[in-house]
Amino acid sequence: MSDTLWAPWRMDYILGPKKPDCFFCLPPDHLGPDPERLVLYSDALSLVIMNLYPYNNAHLMVAPRRHVASLALATEEERVSLINLAAKTTLILDQVLAPQGYNLGINQGLVAGAGLADHLHFHIAPRWSGDTNFMTVLAETRVIPEHIRATYDQLVGRF
Report the C-alpha gap between 93 and 128 in whole angstroms: 12
pLDDT at 131 over 90: no
| Domain architecture of the chain: domains with CATH | 39-156 (3.30.428.10)
Q: Which residues are catalytic?
A: 121
Q: Is the pTM of this model over 0.85?
A: no
Three-class DSSP category at 37: helix
Averaged pLDDT for residues 77-89: 98
pLDDT at 19 over 80: no
Contacts of 3 (CB under 8 A, 6+ apart): none
Helix (H) or strand (E) holding 155, with range, is helix 148-156
Highest mean pLDDT among 11-15, 131-135, 147-151: 147-151
Residue 90 in contact with residue 48, Cβ under 8 Å? no
